[in-house]
Homo-oligomer: A and B are copies of this chain.
């Protein structure tokens, strides 16, 4: 099927308009746009298969697209080709409330899923902040604020339906809670960033909405003290649902953007899930730890309104950071280190960032040892880009030297491919073998993760 044939089949759902192409070639960050040659909007799995078969025949690159909220250039059409916008595959195909599972199409966003689930008393916990599509969350192995309690996409996808690069459709498993039946293709596709196939169906694990939810905010005299409190909380086995660090720069940004009135000092945002008694016990134990490290008064509350305001502010941290400097763009980077090295890693990073001529707030899922730096830069200023690049390089090298990883949750895209080489000198050839075996024509999101 040529472009003409695709246009004929998809009519208005096939577009080469510049605005449409531009929108699909640019992610949520500073990465330069790489528009595809055309964008097509399928609405069924069969349509996805037809498009993929056509591209396979002609050797046309394919970029799968969800909500466009990824952060490392995952969706740039580096070699042109077709972007497949999957937002039209937005059916929740099955909800099995007795089994606490559901089967969704990739275009369903996490917020919509949770809205539709509300009546069942169940929810899907993974929350990367943005209202990402679930297909995108599979592709990037998304994680976020409550991974510390519920795990990442890897732990919460039961199995997948995937269109292979030649258009065949496979199912990687069932919706049984566990299986030892053959190679774990489910996890191979999770985090593969659209380079091995296109996810068209996802069996997800769900959880009961907790009987009680409490939140708390606590100021600390220093980032060190805050991180030490986090480490002890985790080591104590308190099953915190969220434990998020915002450093003084980020708190200042959030105060301005979200009209909060916290001190401009490092803060931890907490959330606890459980029975009323369990939540009280968790909050009190955590409060005692916070106090030990000089934390402020640890007031916790089960008020929904207060909690929603708090987490909305946390989710808006990226926009709050950019708003510190009108006209700027945000470059959010992330690393993850063993938690014992976290305080040291953040301290050294903070010291290194001190010389930056632009804001560099730090915010992170510190319960997992994962934190982000947002470089708030003028992307037209080559000097600033160079400085941010150098700071990012040193950040990643610091994390690797401490036994960590170049990305805890943002992924590789094309933005971190050189770091993947540093982190995985021995495993990268195996990743290449996998890519070559499963996508021999190299048409699936080429130029991402590994170069063939």
Number of identical protomers = 2
Count chain A residues whose beta carbon lies closer than 8 angstroms to a beta carbon of B.
88
0/1 interface trace, chain A 175-216, chain B, CB 8 Å (1 if under): 111111111110110111000000000000001101100000
Residues of B with C-beta under 8 A to A211: 237
Q: A169-B426, A208-B236, A340-B96 are in contact. Are A184 and B188 (CB under 8 A)?
A: yes
Please pick, from B210, B275, B424, the residue contacting A182 in the complex, using a CB distance under 8 A.
Answer: B424
Residue in A168, A235, A370, A427 with the greatest tally of chain B CB atoms within 10 Å = A427
Nearest B residue (CB) for A273: B237
Query: Is the pair A176, B369 in contact by a Cβ cutoff of 8 Å?
Result: yes
Say whether B183 contacts A339, CB under 8 Å: no
In the complex where A176-B336, A337-B176 touch, is A183 in contact with B405 (Cβ < 8 A)? no
Listed by A's residue number, 29 A-B pairs whose Cβ atoms lie within 8 Å are: A96-B338, A96-B340, A98-B231, A98-B340, A100-B234, A143-B178, A143-B180, A152-B178, A154-B187, A170-B426, A170-B427, A171-B427, A173-B405, A176-B338, A178-B370, A178-B408, A180-B405, A180-B407, A180-B409, A181-B407, A182-B431, A183-B191, A183-B449, A184-B191, A207-B237, A208-B237, A278-B278, A434-B438, A437-B437
Given contacts A171-B426, A179-B405, A180-B191, 16 further A-B contacts (CB under 8 A): A96-B340, A174-B400, A178-B409, A179-B336, A180-B407, A180-B408, A180-B411, A180-B412, A181-B416, A181-B423, A182-B191, A182-B428, A183-B188, A183-B192, A183-B434, A433-B437
Interface residues of A (CB under 8 A from B): 96, 98-101, 140-141, 143, 147, 151-152, 154-155, 164, 168-185, 187-188, 190-192, 207-208, 210-211, 231, 234-237, 275, 277-278, 281, 336-340, 368-370, 400, 403-412, 416, 419-420, 423-424, 426-431, 433-438, 449-450
